[in-house]
């Protein structure tokens, strides 16, 4: 049974708010304070209410709300119910014609609400609208995305989303070609700021609570579009955003949760068969993750190349674990950052800076002389920590390890799970299949885009997106 404390004693019964601002907070007291103060100080003509749901914060957020903001609506949960459920709590008590789902790590300047209400009033086809997110120095954050599809997953696993960010399909998920200075339709604006109609919520409901932290906004945006509404991005106004304040407090867990919920999203919208088929494109499979690393795994391994391929916090815990568990094994470090040679010198026999034409380790972009030098080092294994549960985009490291003619490949996930396996033909075949499929889709995408620019496409109504993300006919 949900245990909540709801404070609505200050409900204004005389004036119905046009806008309900819903904020979910978990241990971001200082950010929340700045956010609420910015809303109160900013100039807005629209009448609004603020609803804050606190998810059992341990940083005195609830006390701060009671003391500093006694007039706003507050829902104080006894337990952390997750982002989706907490937003649903706020949406249920929201009275405004419009509802804004806002993250607490934001600062709101003047006239934001007025601009968006005016746009929504003028066009009933708009179901959701979002604005620019800016860093505190004023630079634009690139947060808009395309809704995940099957092609996206294949491109991500092959790393083509980074290699070809402007391609009509390969760049679809991250929208590398999106122009943040143009007002245009978008499939998935950032969940940090979602300005919607109460009628949209009444029609499709709130967030799906099987996605407690991540992908709830992605799933919800998909439902909005399927229900016939447009989702619009506008550069005519903006807010400031500190970026993932709550997530940073449990970064490793958040990454693991995000990728598991991504699989749940595919399962919901594409079915179990497609989801299982897509696992073939991933080098590691979450449902087979086990702690396989034992001393017997390294019985005949005396020289291991360790590739730094994840964020520092995870990598630091990884190498400390290895140095304690395997004191007799010689580990060399390969990193794309020159400063890592000094930082991690005490842990490794040799620290090597990657030499290639990309800023990530890839066999295709590796300098040939450099690769020959590594091959002469006779490494018997390659280990690397990966920041996802299925190894999205890590086939490049698999092929790199194959080129070094190593016996084993070991990958360590943020949840502590290991994948250790010997190189077999099936692994190479799977990797070649992934890359072959990705290149085929790449070619089809180019052809489709070229066809879309011809008079023939206009005659038959073929729709495409330009590299600026503008929908055209």
pLDDT 10s digits, 72-98 = 999 999 999 999 999 999 999 999 999
Question: What per-residue string of b and e applies to 282-303 under the rule 16 or more CB within 10 Å gives b?
Answer: bbbebeebeeebeeebbeebeb
Q: For the residues 21-42, what does the mean pLDDT come to?
A: 95
- The answer to whether 396 and 431 are in contact (CB under 8 A) is no
Please report where in the chains the tokens 């066009």 appear, as a residue.
123
Angle between helix 251-278 and helix 312-325 axes, rounded to 10 deg: 90
Q: Residue 108: pLDDT above 80?
A: yes
Pairing outcome for strands 184-185 and 230-241: antiparallel
Question: What per-residue string of b and e applies to 345-380 under the rule 16 or more CB within 10 Å gives b?
Answer: eeebeebbebbbeeeebbbebbeeeebeebeeeebb
Q: Residue 459: pLDDT above 50?
A: no
More confident of the two residues 337 and 256: 337
Q: Residue 428: pLDDT above 90?
A: no
Give the model's pLDDT for residue 286.
52
Comparing 60-64, 380-384, 386-390, the range with the smallest average pLDDT is 386-390
Q: For the residues 59-63, what does the mean pLDDT come to?
A: 94
More confident of the two residues 155 and 300: 155
Dihedral in degrees, nearest 10, Cα atoms 20, 43, 132, 55? -40
pLDDT in tens, 212-254: 988 999 999 999 999 999 999 999 999 999 976 555 556 666 6
- Residues near 238 by beta carbon (within 8 Å), at least 6 away in sequence: 109, 112, 131, 132, 133, 134
Q: Residue 416: pLDDT above 90?
A: no
Retrieve residue 67's tokens: 């003391």
Give first-to-last CA distance, the chain, whole Å.
52
d(CA 369, CA 299): 31
Retrieve residue 260's tokens: 């598991």
Give the model's pLDDT for residue 309.
78
Comparing 29-33, 149-153, 305-309, 463-467, the range with the smallest average pLDDT is 463-467
Residue 252 is inside which H or E element, if any? helix 251-278
More confident of the two residues 346 and 141: 141
Q: What would you report as the CA-atom Rg of the chain, rounded to the nearest whole angstrom?
A: 25
Percent pLDDT > 70 in the chain is: 84
Q: How confident is residue 117, by pLDDT bands cut at 50, 70 and 90?
A: very high
pLDDT in tens, 268-310: 999 988 888 888 888 876 544 344 445 445 556 678 899 987 7
- The answer to whether 73 and 9 are in contact (CB under 8 A) is no
d(CA 473, CA 467): 14
**3-state DSSP call for residue 64?**
helix
d(CA 290, CA 420): 9
d(CA 90, CA 113): 18
d(CA 464, CA 466): 7
Residue 311: how many other CB atoms lie within 10 Å = 14
Q: Residue 471: pLDDT above 70?
A: no
Q: For the residues 441-451, what does the mean pLDDT come to?
A: 86
- The answer to whether 465 and 168 are in contact (CB under 8 A) is yes
Residue 343 is inside which H or E element, if any? helix 340-343
In a 10 Å sphere around its CB, with 0-12 CB exposed, 13-18 middle and 19+ buried, how is residue 395 labelled?
A: buried
- The answer to whether 235 and 112 are in contact (CB under 8 A) is no
Q: Residue 458: pLDDT above 90?
A: no
More confident of the two residues 170 and 453: 170
Q: For the residues 458-468, what does the mean pLDDT come to?
A: 39
């Amino acid at each position: 049974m949900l245990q909540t404390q709801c404070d609505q004693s200050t409900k204004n019964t005389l004036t119905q708010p046009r806008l309900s601002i819903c904020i979910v907070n978990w241990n971001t007291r200082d950010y929340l304070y700045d956010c609420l103060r910015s809303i109160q100080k900013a100039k807005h003509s629209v009448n609004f209410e603020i609803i804050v749901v606190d998810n059992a914060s341990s940083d005195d957020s609830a006390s701060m709300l009671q003391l500093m903001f006694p007039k706003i609506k507050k829902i104080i949960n006894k337990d952390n119910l997750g982002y989706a459920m907490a937003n649903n709590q706020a949406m249920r008590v929201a009275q405004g014609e419009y509802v804004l789902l806002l993250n607490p790590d934001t600062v709101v300047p003047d006239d934001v609400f007025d601009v968006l209400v005016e746009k929504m009033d003028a066009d009933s086809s708009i179901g959701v609208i979002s604005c620019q997110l800016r860093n505190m120095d004023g630079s634009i954050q690139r947060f808009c995305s395309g809704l995940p599809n099957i092609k996206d997953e294949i491109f991500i696993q092959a790393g083509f989303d980074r290699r070809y960010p402007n391609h009509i399909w390969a760049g679809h998920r991250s929208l590398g070609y999106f122009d943040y200075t143009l007002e245009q339709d978008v499939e998935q604006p950032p969940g940090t700021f979602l300005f919607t109609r109460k009628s949209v919520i009444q029609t499709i409901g709130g967030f799906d609570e099987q996605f407690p932290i991540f992908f709830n906004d992605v799933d919800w945006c998909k439902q909005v579009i399927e229900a016939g509404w447009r989702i619009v991005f506008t550069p005519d106004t903006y807010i400031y955003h500190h970026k993932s304040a709550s997530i940073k407090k449990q970064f490793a867990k958040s990454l693991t949760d995000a990728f598991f919920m991504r699989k749940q999203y595919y399962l919901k919208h594409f079915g179990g068969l497609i989801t299982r088929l897509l696992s073939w494109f991933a080098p590691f499979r979450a449902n087979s993750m086990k702690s396989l690393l034992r001393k017997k795994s390294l019985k005949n391994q005396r020289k291991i190349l360790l590739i730094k391929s994840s964020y520092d916090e995870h990598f630091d815990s990884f190498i400390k674990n290895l140095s304690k568990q395997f004191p007799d094994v010689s580990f060399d470090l390969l990193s794309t950052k020159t400063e890592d040679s000094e930082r991690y010198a005490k842990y490794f026999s040799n620290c090597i800076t990657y030499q290639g034409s990309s800023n990530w380790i890839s066999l295709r972009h590796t300098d040939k002389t450099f690769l020959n030098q590594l091959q002469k080092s006779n490494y018997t294994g390659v280990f690397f920590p990966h920041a996802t549960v299925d190894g999205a985009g890590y086939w490049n490291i698999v092929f790199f390890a194959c080129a070094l003619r190593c016996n084993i490949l070991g990958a360590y996930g943020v949840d502590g799970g290991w994948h250790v396996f010997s190189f077999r033909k099936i692994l190479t075949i799977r990797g070649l299949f992934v890359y072959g499929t990705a290149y085929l889709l790449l070619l089809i995408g180019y052809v489709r885009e070229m066809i879309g620019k011809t008079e023939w496409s206009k005659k038959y109504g073929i729709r495409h997106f330009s590299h600026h993300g503008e929908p055209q006919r």
